[in-house]
Amino acid sequence: MLKSTFVPILSTFPTKPKKLPTKLPWLTIITNTYTQSPQPVHQNASLTTPPPFHQHHHPPTSAYIHLPFCRKRCHYCDFPIVALGSTNPTDNDPRISNYIELLQREIVSTRSDFDTIPPLETVFFGGGTPSLVSPRMVLSILDTLRVKFGVCEGAEISMEMDPGTFDGRKVKDLMGMGVNRVSLGVQAFQEELLKSCGRAHGVKEVYEAIEILGSCGVENWSVDLISSLPLQTPQMWEESLRLTIEARPKHVSVYDLQVEQGTKFGAL
């Protein structure tokens, strides 16, 4: 979903910038900026790509914040990420703290061509796996956005989260800071498919994650699934859809597998 050629085949996410700058990990963000005031993602059923920035006639009201840290790289993934390994990162990890510091500097120095900038209506933390970043760090980013642009009361603040990377405490802390929508990266409900994708979690963690979101009162959450995976039979796909529906997310994003050069799947 970071590429205009790579949008969920069934979804409502706003499209993000085509390619992120390639200097990760030290490159910063991010910000994105859709044309006009975008509708909240739950109402935005468009798959169209926004026009280039210079054609915008309205000040941006959304920010996309890229947090490029993952435990490991999935076998289909060619996103700009940093694989941190399996231990839980700390705030002192310079791979994270340096990035966040630069990110904040970039937010502060972002210029606008508009005289007045309305407060942000939506903020989307994408990745990578933003749920690996501590709530304290997330709060510092949100505070920077609030000071620079302002964030509307009741703004939709979304975060991509991977099963196995958060507990109830973290979710509650994030909700306390205004995060009110979660995009859960499930991809499949079959152990063998998750393994063959190189996911850092299994089906058990998927259900634990769904349970945590429910017990914390997160009402607005969505599921990402990938179709056309190697070894995925039609029965498996049907099962994933059925189990997703049974979990009752507010939204489902289905991505058809794109085999990218340079990934493990690309070498098959």
Ligand X SMILES: C[S@@+](CC[C@H](N)C(=O)[O-])C[C@H]1O[C@@H](n2cnc3c(N)ncnc32)[C@H](O)[C@@H]1O
Binding site for ligand X (CB under 6 A): 1, 70, 76-77, 79, 126-129, 160, 162, 185, 187, 224, 226, 255, 257-258, 260
Least distance CB 15 / ligand X (angstroms) = 12
Smaller CB separation from ligand X, 62 or 129: 129
In 3-state terms, the chain is what percent helix, strand and coil (to 5)? 30, 20, 50
**Chain CA centroid to CA 234, Å:** 27
CB environment 184-198: b (16+ within 10 A), e (fewer): bbbbbbbeebbebbe
Smaller CB separation from ligand X, 144 or 240: 240
Residue 25 parent element (H or E): none
Smaller CB separation from ligand X, 120 or 184: 184
How big is the chain by its Cα radius of gyration, in Å?
Answer: 18
Distance CA 81, CA 172 (A): 26
Query: Do the Cβ atoms of 70 and 201 come closer than 8 Å?
Result: no
SS3 232: coil
Distance CA 146, CA 193 (A): 41
Least distance CB 89 / ligand X (angstroms) = 14
Query: Do the Cβ atoms of 183 and 227 come closer than 8 Å?
Result: no
Measured at CB, which residue is nearest to ligand X? 185
Omega of the bond leading into 128 within 30 degrees of 0 (cis): yes
Least distance CB 154 / ligand X (angstroms) = 25
Least distance CB 49 / ligand X (angstroms) = 16
Least distance CB 224 / ligand X (angstroms) = 3
Which tokens sit at 119?
Answer: 């407060």
Least distance CB 228 / ligand X (angstroms) = 8
Tell how strand 151-161 and strand 120-127 pair up: parallel
Smaller CB separation from ligand X, 60 or 126: 126
Smaller CB separation from ligand X, 33 or 187: 187
Smaller CB separation from ligand X, 143 or 192: 192
Smaller CB separation from ligand X, 140 or 227: 227
Least distance CB 146 / ligand X (angstroms) = 24
Distance CA 191, CA 253 (A): 20
